[in-house]
Every structure is written in structure tokens, then in C-alpha cells.
């Protein structure tokens, strides 16, 4: 009979954790706090009229990142895996700006001009996501924002409790 109180405690603890997660998600969505914008490549983003990331409450949304240098030139042309690595390196900079890691990512959408290349290089993502993979989609497109770009990745993350 001693196991019944222990089991009840575990169930209550588990439910309590789930309720806390739900509260965090609700707060992230309903938070009326003003958005906080982050420019990864300020001059380029001003020229093209976009912001790389925005945080509202505890939710961080990162627009599609491509393999470019600081001046906005495409890098690693015709090297799919290096383009992926460059995308994830830039995404990491944005996540760190908001105190996040890839463990905090809840959504990842990958846009690609070659689904075959994405399949061949998808295993690289295991080096990025150490604990779990986020939800998301892989979307094949005819072309991306610049000639020679084959992959673009966007993320959403939930900031960790401090």
C-alpha cells in the first residue's frame, strides 16, 4: 500500500509539469509585451526590408536564414551541406542573442530547391539537435532569395525559464 501514495505523487507531479508548460505556451502567445526585434545583418535587412528575428514574450520567431556573408553575398554555392552548416551557425547566433539553444526550438521549417540533397544531408541535423527534434516541415521550392542558395531554415523557439 505504500506505493499508492508514491504513484499518486508521481502522477500529480507530472500533471503539474504539464500545466506549467501549458502556462508558458499560453503566456508566450497571449503576452502583450512589445516585440523585441533582432537584426542579424543590419544593413542587408534594412536594404531588403525584413527583420531576422522577433521576440514577443517568451516566443522567439526567426525568419528564414540562408548561407550568406556579412555583405549579403551567397556563400558555399553548390555545396549543400556547407550551406546547411552556415544556416545553423547563423541561427545559433540568433538563438544565443535571446538566451536560447537548439534545445529550446519547437518548430523548424526547411525550404529547399533540392529535396534529394536535403535527404542526403539531413543527418547533419543530429549534430544540431542533441536532445530532440522540433516539429516542422520540409518544403521543396523552385528557387530561394538569391541565386545559388539551395536551403533556407526558419525556427521558432520558446525561451527557457530563468
Per-residue pLDDT reduced to its tens digit, 86-96: 999 999 999 99
Q: What is the dihedral of CA 20, 23, 24, 29, to 10 degrees?
A: 170
How do the residues of the chain divide into helix, strand and coil, expressed in percent and rounded to 5?
45, 25, 35
Instruction: Quick: pLDDT tens for 100-140.
Output: 999 999 999 999 999 999 999 999 999 999 999 999 999 99
pLDDT top residue among 18 and 60: 60
Cβ-contact 159, 58 below 8 angstroms: yes
Q: What average pLDDT does this structure show over 145-158?
A: 96
For residue 153, pLDDT beyond 60: yes
* Nearest alpha-carbon partner for 125 in 158, 98, 155, 148: 155
For residue 12, pLDDT beyond 90: no
pLDDT top residue among 145 and 19: 145
Cα separation of 24 and 119, whole Å? 34
Q: Give the pTM.
A: 0.79
- In order of 20, 69, 146, the CA distances from 27 in angstroms are 10, 36, 37
For residue 59, pLDDT beyond 70: yes
Instruction: Quick: pLDDT tens for 20-54.
Output: 666 665 555 555 589 999 999 999 999 999 999 99
- In order of 26, 40, 48, 59, 111, the CA distances from 96 in angstroms are 23, 12, 24, 14, 23
For cell 525568419, name the residue: 63
Length reported for the chain: 162
Amino acid at each position: 500500500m505504500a506505493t499508492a501514495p508514491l504513484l499518486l505523487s508521481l502522477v500529480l507531479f507530472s500533471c503539474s509539469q504539464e500545466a506549467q508548460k501549458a502556462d508558458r505556451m499560453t503566456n508566450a502567445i497571449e503576452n502583450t509585451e512589445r516585440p523585441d526585434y533582432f537584426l542579424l545583418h543590419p544593413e542587408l535587412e534594412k536594404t531588403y526590408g525584413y527583420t531576422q528575428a522577433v521576440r514577443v514574450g517568451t516566443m522567439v520567431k526567426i525568419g528564414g536564414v540562408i548561407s550568406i556573408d556579412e555583405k549579403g553575398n551567397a556563400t558555399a554555392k553548390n555545396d549543400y551541406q556547407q550551406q546547411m552548416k552556415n544556416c545553423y551557425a547563423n541561427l545559433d547566433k540568433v538563438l544565443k542573442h535571446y538566451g536560447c539553444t537548439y534545445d529550446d526550438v519547437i518548430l523548424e521549417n526547411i525550404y529547399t530547391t533540392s529535396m534529394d540533397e536535403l535527404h542526403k544531408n539531413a543527418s547533419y541535423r543530429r549534430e544540431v539537435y542533441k536532445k530532440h527534434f522540433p516539429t516542422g516541415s520540409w518544403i521543396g521550392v523552385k528557387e530561394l532569395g538569391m541565386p545559388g542558395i539551395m536551403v533556407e531554415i526558419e525556427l521558432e523557439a520558446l525561451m527557457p525559464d530563468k
